[in-house]
Amino acid sequence: MRILAIESSCDETAAAVVEDGRTVLSSVVASQIETHQKYGGVVPELASREHMRAITPVVDEALARAGVGWKELDAVACTYGPGLLGSLLVGVTYAKAISMAHGLPLLAVNHLEGHIHAVVLEHPQTALPALALIVSGGHTHLYHVRENFAYEAISKTRDDAAGEAYDKVAKLLGYPYPGGPILDKLAPYGNARGVRFTRPHMTSGNALDFSFSGMKTAVLRWTEANAVEEEIAARRRVGGTATVEEWLAVTPAATLDLIASFQAAVIDELLSRIGKLVEAHAVESVIITGGVACNAGLRRAAAASRIGVPIYFPTPGLSTDNAAMIGAAAFRKLRAGDVAGLDLRARASLPL
């Protein structure tokens, strides 16, 4: 069964053709980084406009690369939440139009479930029950994934998502958007014990929830205390296409220590939660997915951890937002006859 999948939840317009939930025949992603870079983050209205411009050529390219026509498809799938409402509407509306025009079943996929299936797509040996950590610019959620992909939310962030905290810290230090990958590349050059970050302690509600805003504030206080205005100004002049060597030339050792310590604190927060829950939930594997799953420091730390069960990451191309993961998640829905109606609505806040 071949599914055309569409993903437009944030700032990437993506389409893919996936066969039987396992084989990616094509995957096309149009990034909007250049559009949003000058603003230091995603501007929702601009994102939806860019989706409208890109959606038709991206879908056409996905079909062309897969070598299939409309009559060779069995269904069309789309992300209907969570995400930016205007962005979601573009993908949902386009998928509805395809469903009507070509008589294809319409499949509605939760973006978060898509991220989990990005791992299962590449690692079919992933055993359930599992713990799934979805960590990106918009989400930091931990789920218990039971048999037949039944989900129980264990914890989430109460403020900034981990990826959002990375980008905000990078902006404070004068690095361009998206700053998370830059900090990850610079972290190995600093002392991860050079700056002390206090770990958050939840005194109310779910004690397992995440919080990263305090770390961001600690970086702000550090910049105020260390008079780093000149080096920040120097980094802002460098531009978004700089190499690691060029960033190192404008990043003193003290700032590298700060970056390394920040990264170590974030990674410790993420992996310590998993370590505490693996035995308690008797899981057989761990899934770490989402944009921050590209983080090399996180991958190294996970490989060196003593969590005790296999830990699976998607490849970088399937870690960030893409439509192949939506097609993989949609296949289960198609087999189960879980078809959406043409009254499907985009939902900016959608639980899993």
Q: Is the overall model pTM greater than 0.85, yes or no?
A: yes
pLDDT digits 0-9 by tens, 292-316: 999 999 999 999 998 989 999 999 9
Q: Which CATH superfamily is domain 2-116+319-336 in?
A: ATPase, nucleotide binding domain (3.30.420.40)
Beta bridge partners of 6: 15, 78
Q: What is the mean pLDDT of residues 252-278?
A: 94
Higher pLDDT, 323 or 199: 323
- Interior angle at CA 306, CA 302 and CA 310, nearest 5: 65
- pLDDT over 70, % of the chain: 99
Per-residue tokens: 109:
């996929």
pLDDT at 203: 64
Which CATH number among 3.40.50.970, 3.40.50.1820, 2.60.40.10, 3.30.420.40 corresponds to the domain 127-309?
3.30.420.40
pLDDT at 156 over 80: yes
Residues composing the chain: 352
Q: How far apart are CA 248 and CA 224, in angstroms?
A: 21
Q: How far apart are CA 347 and CA 253, in angstroms?
A: 45
Q: How far apart are CA 8 and CA 12, in angstroms?
A: 6
pLDDT at 198: 85
Average pLDDT taken over every residue of the chain: 94
In this prediction, residue 321 has a pLDDT band, given cuts at 50, 70 and 90, of: very high
Q: What is the mean pLDDT of residues 84-112?
A: 98
pLDDT at 57 over 70: yes
pLDDT at 202: 67
The one-letter amino acid code at 147 reads E
Q: How far apart are CA 161 and CA 139, in angstroms?
A: 5
Intrachain domains 2-116+319-336 and 127-309 with the same fold: yes
Give the 3-state secondary structure of residue 35. Answer: helix
Task: Parse the chain into domains and list their residue ranges.
Answer: 2-116+319-336, 127-309
Q: How far apart are CA 43 and CA 135, in angstroms?
A: 21
pLDDT at 240 over 80: no
* Three-class secondary structure assignment of 164-222: HHHHHHHHHCCCCCCCHHHHHHHHHHCCCCCCCCCCCCCCCCCCCCECCHHHHHHHHHH
pLDDT at 44 over 70: yes
Sign of CA dihedral 97, 102, 106, 112: negative
Q: Of 34-38, 133-137, 262-266, which range is least confident?
A: 34-38
In this prediction, residue 128 has a pLDDT band, given cuts at 50, 70 and 90, of: very high
Q: What is the mean pLDDT of residues 187-207?
A: 86
Per-residue tokens: 127:
């055993």
Q: How far apart are CA 292 and CA 161, in angstroms?
A: 10
Whether residue 121 contacts residue 328, with contact meaning beta carbons closer than 8 Å, is answered with yes
Residue 292 gets the label, from left (phi > 0), alpha (psi -120 to 50) or beta, of: alpha
Torsion of CA 175, 176, 182, 184, to 10 degrees: 80
- Helix residue spans in 2-158 (DSSP H): 33-37, 44-66, 85-102, 111-122
CB within 8 Å of 88: residues ≥ 6 apart: 8, 9, 79, 80, 81, 346, 347, 348
Q: What is the mean pLDDT of residues 169-174?
A: 95
